[in-house]
Chains A and B, each alone.
Chain A
Amino acid sequence: MSTSASLVALKRTPLFDTHIACNAKMVDFGGWEMPLHYGSQVEEHHQVRRHAGMFDVSHMLNVDIKGNDVRDFLRRLVANNVDKLQTPGKALYSCMLNPQGGVIDDLIVYFLSETHFRLVVNAGSAEKDVAWIKQQASATHPSLTITPRRDLAMIAVQGPAARQAVWSVWPHCRLASESLIAFSAQVEGDVMIARTGYTGEDGFEIVLPVCDAPAFWSALKTAGVAPAGLGARDTLRLEAGMNLYGNEMDETVSPLDAGLAWTVDMKTARAFIGREALEANGKQRAFVGLKLLDRGAGVIRAHMKVVTPYGDGEITSGTHSPTLGFSVAMARVPLAVVAGDTVHVDIRGKLVPALVVKMPFVRNGKALVS
């Protein structure tokens, strides 16, 4: 066994002291000192699937873009089409591509008004994202203002009982947030309540001023919401079939090869950054889910080799699924591989059979793969 290196000059969220008080095991995640778990990663996972759990996601960055032609700017900046956003509060998942068609980051765009859109980007990519966005804006839309909002914290409350728990703590927000459909948000001042998440369960992601975050967290905890760390967040998102930036895609990977074709809108002639490269290269790899068939062989992990009749592939993420009780994974494999095929994963030198399955593995507490 090896032990983790000492933590050097890591960034901390406004909930750092709260995590320590909750006995969190802290780890380095993209330069941030974040809770891995508060005792048991698996218990936290089950809490979210069965009741409600909460995650500090304040390391992610809200970026406000304001001005008269924000929508036009975003039509070019991101691969999904912001013209799908016609009702204020509506959200859209998208990749932001480089000219080579690689993924700079995946993000959520919130349409707040015609002069105000918000992007929520990954922690590890936040600085390069802001630099890229500013560079693009200065070239084509110099009148826009681009504001990283480190004055805002963000807490994800997820699980079948999550929304009720939020309303019990914040009764004043019930009326406005009860009618929210999936992937939409309601904004009141610096508080944004979005019906979004990264677990495959119902719930909210709540943006609020940094100063209000610790009290809100404590109140949720008293209301029975379990603090959950990055460990549970990773197993939950993997079961839910959701990509993780840096694992499933990065600046060298096309969204078409990462199972994200559904987020790339080429139905209209819209000229977005990376489009020409995507059209020139097309889809080169299949992106699939795997279920390990031999439970006595261990756990599939990222970067393991996948052997198929059509050539080799690679695991992008793999874990033991706490909900299913066996190992599942995401893999990039030759195009000819389809659901129902059996492939083999090289687990420490042993070729172990795995079934190619459709993702997600789990959604709303229910196993979709058995």
Chain B
Amino acid sequence: MNIPANLKYTKSHEWIRLEEDGTITVGITDPAQEMLGDLVFVGDVKVGEVLSAGETAGVVESVKAASDIYAPVSGEVTEFNGELDAAPESLNGAPYANWIFKMKPANVEDLAKLLDAAAYQAVATAG
């Protein structure tokens, strides 16, 4: 399984990248897309919504099932990747090149609570 070392992760299979402007970019991991199967819809993300860590930020749906995606830290949703409307399957092909939403964290220090690649690898391997 592909788990890049330069990203942060959640137990609920989101990946997180801290940008230079202090925002974070969030997507779903390779093990996540693998478990979900062919993705056919990504949405329900509300730009401007203020969420606490662990709250539902949106949904990804495969042919098989719907699965919520969660805010990795507390903060405000600032952007949704509209390209996914037409091409949700791009998350299957390149899960780390295609992001789902961006957030402005309430506290950048919260990022320290996220998993690193090794810790996430252990979560993903345990299933």
**Chain A contacts for B44, CB-based, 8 A:** 298, 348
Interface residues of A in 1-42 (CB under 8 A from B): 1-4, 25, 36-37, 40-42
Bits for B31-57, please: 1 = Cβ < 8 Å to A, else 0.
010011110110110000000000000
* Cα separation A320 to B43 with both chains bound (whole Å): 15
Does B81 have its Cβ within 8 Å of any Cβ on chain A? no
When C-beta atoms are compared, the residue in chain B nearest to A301 turns out to be B66
Number of residues on chain A facing chain B (CB within 8 A): 21
What string of 1s and 0s marks CB contacts (under 8 Å) between A252-285 and chain B? Answer: 0000000000000000000000000000000000
B63 interface residue per 8 A CB criterion: yes
Interface residues of A in 30-62 (CB under 8 A from B): 36-37, 40-42
CB contacts (< 8 Å) of B68 on chain A: these are 1
Could you list some 19 contacts between A and B, CB below 8 A? Answer: A1-B12, A1-B13, A1-B32, A1-B36, A1-B67, A2-B67, A36-B64, A37-B37, A41-B64, A42-B38, A42-B63, A231-B37, A231-B63, A235-B63, A298-B59, A298-B61, A299-B41, A320-B61, A348-B66
CA distance A322 to B65 in the complex (A): 14
Within 8 A of B (CB), among A309-352: 319-320, 322, 348
A171 is an interface residue with CB less than 8 A from chain B: no
Assess whether B110 is interfacial by the CB under 8 Å rule.
no
Known: A298-B66, A320-B61. A1 touches B41 (CB 8 A): no
Instruction: Give A residues with C-beta under 8 Å from B.
Output: 1-4, 25, 36-37, 40-42, 231, 235, 296-299, 301, 319-320, 322, 348
CB–CB B40/A299 < 8 A: yes
Flag if A319 contacts B63 (CB, 8 Å). yes
User: Are the CB atoms of B38 and A40 closer together than 8 Å?
Assistant: yes
CB distance from B84 to the nearest CB of A (A): 11
Say which residue of A3, A4, A41 sits within 8 Å of B38 (CB atoms): A41
| B46 → A minimal CB distance (Å) | 12
Which residues on B sit within 8 Å (CB–CB) of A37? Answer: 37
Which B-chain residue is minimally distant from A44 (CB atoms)?
B38
Least CB distance, A89 to chain B, in whole angstroms: 36
Extra 16 A-B pairs, beta carbons < 8 Å, given A4-B127, A348-B44? A1-B12, A1-B13, A41-B38, A42-B38, A231-B37, A231-B63, A231-B64, A235-B63, A298-B44, A298-B66, A299-B41, A299-B61, A301-B65, A319-B63, A320-B41, A320-B61
Given A1-B32, A296-B85, A298-B59, the answer on whether A41 and B37 have CB atoms closer than 8 Å is yes
Docked-complex contact B67 and A296, CB < 8 angstroms = no
In the bound complex, CA of A37 to CA of B63 (Å): 12
Contact (Cβ within 8 A) A299 B66: yes
The smallest beta-carbon distance between A305 and chain B, in angstroms, is: 15
Minimum C-beta distance from B94 to chain A (A): 15
Query: A296: which B residues are within 8 A, CB to CB?
Result: 43, 85
Q: For A322, list chain B residues within 8 Å (CB).
A: 63
B61, B64, B65: residue with the most chain A Cβ atoms closer than 10 Å = B64
- Give the residue name and chain of the A residue nearest to B13 (CB): A1
Q: Specify which chain B residues have a CB less than 8 angstroms from the CB of A25 in the assembled complex.
A: 37
Q: Report the Cα distance A296→B80, complex, angstroms.
A: 13
Q: How far is the CB of B34 from chain A (nearest CB, A)?
A: 9
Q: List, in ascending order, chain A residues with CB within 8 A of B89's CB.
A: 42
Cα separation A316 to B72 with both chains bound (whole Å): 34
Interface centre among A3, A25, A296 (most CB of B within 10 A): A3
A36 to B37, CA, bound (A): 10
- Residue of chain B at shortest CB distance from A43: B38
A4, A36, A235, A320, most chain B CB atoms within 10 A: A320
Residues from chain A with Cβ under 8 Å of B40 in the complex: 299, 320
Residues of A within 8 A of B67 (CB): 1-2
Kindly provide the distance from the CB of A36 to the nearest chain B CB, expressed in whole angstroms. Answer: 8
Q: What is the minimal beta-carbon distance from A198 to any residue of chain B, in angstroms? A: 17
List A contacts of B13 (CB < 8 A).
Answer: 1
In the complex the two chains form, is A298's CB within 8 Å of B35's CB? no
Report A-chain residues with C-beta under 8 Å of the C-beta of B28.
1
Please state if B63 and A1 are interface contacts (CB–CB under 8 Å).
Answer: no
Interface residues of B in 52-102 (CB under 8 A from A): 59, 61, 63-68, 85, 89
CB neighbours of A1 from chain B (8 A): 12-13, 28, 32, 35-36, 67-68
Most buried by B among A1, A4, A301, A348: A1
Instruction: Please give, as numbers and ranges, the residues of chain A lying within 8 Å of B43 by CB-CB distance.
Output: 296-298
Closest Cβ of chain A: how far from B113's Cβ, in Å?
Answer: 19
B58 to chain A, nearest CB (A): 10
CA of A319 to CA of B64, assembled, Å: 7
